[in-house]
Chain A
Amino acid sequence: MLRALVVSILAMALVSCSGSVQVQHAFPAPLVEQLPLRVAVWYPPGLSDFTYHEEDAAQQEWTVRLGTANLRMFNAVFAALFREVVHAGSLDEARALQPPVDAILSPAVDAFELSSPALSGTDQFAVWIRYNLDVLAPDGTLIVRWPIAAYGQAGTGGMSDAESMERATVLALRDAAAAIAVGFARQPKVREILLRESTSDGH
């Protein structure tokens, strides 16, 4: 009886020292003006199977599986932002599309960081994601590499540690989606080369 109790307590302690986050969230379509562009999208393997693993300084182990959530987020944004989106299995396939597209987009995760209350001394879980969104010409030459820094934080109120970390991750993904939806058409190279707008005003 006593042995069973000790084993149970040890098992609970082990569970409480690891957190696994699988983002299931569905991302809403952004309410933005559609750009008159036909684009090809290529998701490199590092994006679609992105998994982050760390044991933080407080000995808590975290595994965040971001891959499918990345794809859902980018799909939602691109479908709303562009007149037509063609998904390509590779960069070569995107380059070979006929008729040619206006641009090829290829996002990648450049960095991922997380913080838990045990580390920060606050009651907040926080997630930072840095994406690079490569905007390529139809022949594959780089027009611009746009770094997008996204951040999300969530409190602990009423949620488990894993749920709070998932909430912070979802908010970081939504932050990235908002940044792209609002900021893509404001990128000087995008305005100049893809939208054929004058950027002489510097905005």
Chain B
Amino acid sequence: MGIEPAVGRLLLRCLWAAISAALVTGCMTSRVEESKNAATGLAPGESVVILATSYHRGKATEEDFVSCVNDAVQSGDGKVRVTPQQQFIDALFPWFEPRTAPQSADALPELLARPGVAERIEAQGVRYLVWLDGTTEKTSGGGSLSCAVGPGGGGCFGLTWWEDDASYDAAVWDLRRQSNAGSVSADVHGTSMIPALIIPVPLIARTQSAACRDMAQQLRQFIHGPEVGS
């Protein structure tokens, strides 16, 4: 009993798609760490807000990374309720602008004592503030890749590669206890390359996406517990 040609073509396409999907990812190593100062947990109706640290303190964390963590924390197993960052910043304006945002958890008591601030935070249901810091940087690269097009067709030849380092920290402040609950860090190192023998084949290490996924997963666990010392 032979395979119909149409089915055969379909199988071949699926096989090619699977090989392509396996190839398009470069190689990555990742490390996730957590440091907890106090017990955590989230009561019904409580939420977290995830913000980027002020760009006055150094290189700005990419906005798409902050958005990615915001989305990832509120999805999947153990998802956490997240208050949209702009909604929170607007409700507390001007106290979370880059110029005025508290620099450490030690500044929380003074901030929360300002008229109306604690009430607005309570109304938003925000229990934890998560401050994201860090960036993805290209650390090294090399190789050579050249392409040419002629009347008979075109093609590329060579190999180019580069390394990316995605390094992010998240400080978690407990607004109810007015203290630093701890921190989570995610470091992902990846090597991407594009070998080309007529057709270039990009093998891209998506370090920022991996760091986002790792960071979000660890933050979900951090916020839900387990308790310190348990």
- Indicate whether A100 reaches chain B with its CB closer than 8 angstroms: no
> Would you give the 0/1 interface string for A47-85, flagging 1 where the beta carbon is closer than 8 Å to chain B?
000000000000000000000000000000000000000
Interface contacts (Cβ under 8 Å), in number, total 55
Known A33-B115, A154-B63, A158-B64; judge A175-B98 contact (CB<8 A): yes
Residues of chain A at the chain B interface (Cβ within 8 Å): 27-33, 124, 153-155, 157-158, 171, 174-175, 177-179, 181-182
List B residues 95-145 near A (Cβ within 8 Å).
Answer: 95, 97-100, 114-117, 120
Measured between alpha carbons, how far is A175 from B55 in the docked complex, in Å?
12
- Indicate whether B197 reaches chain A with its CB closer than 8 angstroms: no
Q: Give, as a whole number of angstroms, the nearest-CB distance from A126 to chain B.
A: 9
Which of A153, A154, A157, A178 is within 8 Å of B94, CB to CB? A178
CB of B62 within 8 A of CB of A181, answer no
CB of A174 within 8 A of CB of B97, answer yes
- Which residue on chain A has the smallest CB distance to residue B117? A31
CB of B98 within 8 A of CB of A157, answer no
Known A178-B97, A179-B99, A182-B100; judge A157-B64 contact (CB<8 A): yes
Which of B63, B97, B115, B120 is within 8 Å of A155, CB to CB? B63
List B residues 57-75 near A (Cβ within 8 Å).
Answer: 60, 62-65, 67
CB of A30 within 8 A of CB of B94, answer yes
CB of A175 within 8 A of CB of B63, answer no
Measured between alpha carbons, how far is A182 from B97 in the docked complex, in Å?
11
- Which residue on chain B has the smallest CB distance to residue A152? B98
